[in-house]
Amino acid sequence: MEMHELTCIQCPMGCPLTVSVDGDKVTVSGNTCPRGEVYGKKEITAPTRTVTSTVAVEGGELPRVSVKTATDIPKDKIFAVMDAIRAAKVKAPVLIGDVLIKNAAGSGVDVIATKTVEKA
Amino acid sequence: MEYHDIVIIGGGPAGLSAAVAAHDAGVRDILILERDDHLGGILNQCIHNGFGLHTFQEELTGPEYADRYIRQIAERHIPYKLCTIVSDISAEREVLYINSEEGAVRLKAGAVVLAMGCRERPRGALALPGFRPAGVFTAGTAQRLVNIEGYMVGKEVVILGSGDIGLIMARRMTLEGAKVKVVAELMPYSGGLKRNIVQCLEDYGIPLRLRHTVTKIHGKARVEGVTIAEVGDDRKPIPGTEEFYSCDTLLLSCGLLPENELSKQAGVRLDSVTGGPSVDDRLETSVPGVFACGNVLHVHDLVDYVSEEAARAGEQAAAYVQTGERKQTAAAALEGKGGVRYTVPQTLHIADMADRVTVRFRVADVYRDKQLVVYYDGREVRRIKKRILAPGEMEELVLMKSSFADWPDVQTITIALEDQHGDA
């Protein structure tokens, strides 16, 4: 059996959770509400995060455009997606919501612009 | 002299929300004055997500949140001036602004909304020994350089202070390939949100050392390292606990200060705890027709609350323009006790208050299993259980007009933190 210690972030309480994994069976203790159980299970079995960063813009009013993954991605893909973001370069104008990188690092998730950058 | 019904100082989240609300309340002659070259204020550099859960029921990044409001400004054709700095406001609501096209212009405002935001506490205010090498930045300055200008500020980073911007920048620098060695926090708790501790530090294995501070900055031309020491209960470094961390960058996330130079020039009375104007339940300052909202009023934890508060300030500024000065009724004073550091608003006009008035406050320490008790002139009227309160999270309490039905002449409303009954 595997034990994990983590802090719940569903509310300011910050309950210290203990998640035990025994084969397919995942149990959470230390939570004081049902949200803690859901959070604890997901964090241990399939943790995800939204990645935000910036992509270089050519010919824009600003040198960078802010971006995010369109949905959250598996936590272990964060640095692979960051590599794709760092390698990318786009031409102005960029509109908020534009897809800048399709299927970033094979995550199945697109990287999209979170602001508009007009031509210089 | 040029005249506008409502002049809003600052085009960040507070100013934008105030403008939209004032417009929707029926005022058409509004002008926003913004010193930066874009609307949106600090949201433009806050490229991380977590904004808007309350306002839009979805998780947005800072620029996306700003965009929602900028669109509302555009739809309503509300005028604004960019690259325009206000250098004076008088008690008669004369506003002096300066930009490179018009020079210095004085205009008269029917009502003024103060929405200038806040500033970071700089190195000079922290008394950190050492030379003045390159490589020392406030976290927000670094955030702007990295996220807007596209400059990495360093490769090996130590962060002093665990405010939210510092935590966010710990993750940001790590994602961009820097090594963040440690976050040192003077206090026994972090001033930042829990989710930021987990998602910005724990996710990347960045240690948070509570009760620690920087006692020396090494390096003359560029930062070469810092000495970090543990502090005692008096928050003074404990001799013998010093440790050297080599680094080329020190980021400071040591608190935010409401930016009230203009408020002072207008004669607005400030609250010594918040550093912002003292306001009544209409968010009106001590100068009639001058309203305040957002981080210039008190530092908020979430932008959603800034937007909501600023909308109220915008509505009240509109009412002031439409119906004139509020007739002077007696005001009850709000006071915090037992760890409630301050309240906003600071006064309440019971006779003509809204049905519901939201009071916001912060507490002085981390408290568990306490009760929030409300007294009207010493008589207990409400008792609310609180499982946890923390300095990093803003608290709120709604005062109902109906609760004053039997006591219209209350002079002091006390909000106190007390131990639970039976524990004392």
- Note whether A64 and A102 are same-domain residues: yes
The answer to whether residue B234 scores a pLDDT higher than 60 is yes
* SS3 of residue B91 by DSSP: coil
- Partner-chain contact B150 A64, CB within 8 Å: yes
The answer to whether residue B387 scores a pLDDT higher than 90 is no
What residues of B are in contact with residue A7 (Cβ under 8 Å)?
194, 197-198, 202
* SS3 of residue B225 by DSSP: strand
- Note whether A31 and A82 are same-domain residues: no
- Partner-chain contact A115 B64, CB within 8 Å: yes
Q: Which domain holds residue A39?
A: 2-46
For every residue of B238-304, DSSP letters joined together read: PTT--EEEE-SEEEE---EEE--HHHHHTTPPBPTTTSSB---TT-B-SSTTEEE-GGGTS--S-HH
Locate B110 and state its tokens.
């029917």
Most confident of A23-32, B352-361, B388-397: B352-361
- Partner-chain contact A52 B194, CB within 8 Å: no
A21 falls within a domain: yes
pLDDT in tens, A98-114: 999 999 999 999 999 99
Residue B368 backbone phi and psi in degrees, to 5: -120, 145
The set of residues, in sequence order, having a beta carbon less than 8 Å from that of B298 and lying 6+ positions away, is B258, B271, B274, B275, B276, B342, B344, B360, B362
- Partner-chain contact A9 B149, CB within 8 Å: no
- Partner-chain contact A116 B147, CB within 8 Å: no
| B366: amino acid identity, one letter | V
What average pLDDT does chain B have? 95
Backbone φ/ψ region at A38: left (φ over 0), alpha (ψ -120 to 50), beta: alpha
Query: Cα dist. B36→B13, B84, B129, B189 in Å?
Result: 13, 7, 33, 34
- Note whether A59 and A106 are same-domain residues: yes
Predicted confidence band at B422 (pLDDT cuts at 50, 70, 90)? Answer: low
* Residue found under tokens 């970071």: B120
Residue B193 pLDDT: 84
| Residues across chain B | 424
Mutation target among B47, B82, B201 for the A interface, most CBs of A within 10 A: B47
Percent pLDDT > 70 in chain B is 99
- Note whether A58 and A23 are same-domain residues: no
A119 falls within a domain: no
Helices (H), A1-120: 34-45, 78-87
Mutation target among B167, B195, B366, B386 for the A interface, most CBs of A within 10 A: B195
Residue B303 backbone phi and psi in degrees, to 5: -65, -30
Nearest CA in chain A to B388: A13
Query: Cα dist. B403→B132, B279, B356, B375 in Å?
Result: 56, 21, 10, 11
Query: Cα dist. B355→B194, B349, B350, B402, B403 in Å?
Result: 33, 12, 10, 7, 10
pLDDT in tens, B256-287: 999 999 999 999 999 999 999 999 999 999 99
State how far the Cα of B34 lies from the Cα of B84, in Å rounded to an integer: 6
- Note whether A10 and A39 are same-domain residues: yes
A120 falls within a domain: no
Predicted confidence band at B310 (pLDDT cuts at 50, 70, 90)? Answer: very high
State how far the Cα of B162 lies from the Cα of B175, in Å rounded to an integer: 18
- Note whether A59 and A102 are same-domain residues: yes
Residue B421 pLDDT: 67
Predicted confidence band at B423 (pLDDT cuts at 50, 70, 90)? Answer: very low
- Note whether A75 and A95 are same-domain residues: yes
Nearest CA in chain A to B58: A71
The answer to whether residue B55 scores a pLDDT higher than 70 is yes
- Note whether A32 and A78 are same-domain residues: no
Per the structure, the count of domains in chain A is 2
Torsional sign, CA B191, B197, B201, B207: positive
Across B248-255, average pLDDT: 96
State how far the Cα of B218 lies from the Cα of B18, in Å rounded to an integer: 45
CA B226 to chain centre: 29
* SS3 of residue B108 by DSSP: strand
Report the CATH number that the domain containing residue A104 is assigned in CATH: 3.10.530.10
Percent pLDDT > 90 in chain B is 89
| Residues across chain A | 120
- Note whether A107 and A77 are same-domain residues: yes
Closest CA–CA distance from residue B65 to any residue of chain A (Å) = 9
pTM of the prediction?
Answer: 0.94
Predicted confidence band at B22 (pLDDT cuts at 50, 70, 90)? Answer: very high
What average pLDDT does chain A have? 94
What residues of A are in contact with residue B390 (Cβ under 8 Å)?
12
A79 falls within a domain: yes
State how far the Cα of A74 lies from the Cα of B344, in Å rounded to an integer: 41
Residue B200 backbone phi and psi in degrees, to 5: -105, -30
| A102: amino acid identity, one letter | K
A22 falls within a domain: yes
Instruction: From B417, B343, B336, B359, select the one nearest B383 (Cα to Cα).
Output: B417
- Note whether A64 and A101 are same-domain residues: yes
A29 falls within a domain: yes
State how far the Cα of B276 lies from the Cα of B290, in Å rounded to an integer: 13
Residue B424 pLDDT: 41
Q: What is the CA radius of gyration of chain A?
A: 19
- Partner-chain contact B64 A53, CB within 8 Å: no
Instruction: From B342, B361, B374, B344, select the one nearest B282 (Cα to Cα).
Output: B344
State how far the Cα of A116 lies from the Cα of B64, in Å rounded to an integer: 9
Q: Enumerate chain B positions whose Cβ falls within 8 A of a Cβ in A.
A: 44, 47-49, 59-64, 66-67, 146-150, 175-176, 193-195, 197-199, 202-203, 387-390, 393
The answer to whether residue A119 scores a pLDDT higher than 80 is yes
Using CB atoms, pick whichever of B49, B149, B393 lies closest to residue A52: B49
A62 falls within a domain: yes
The answer to whether residue B297 scores a pLDDT higher than 80 is yes
A90 falls within a domain: yes
- Note whether A28 and A62 are same-domain residues: no
Residue A11 pLDDT: 75
- Note whether A69 and A24 are same-domain residues: no
* Residue found under tokens 């935001």: B117
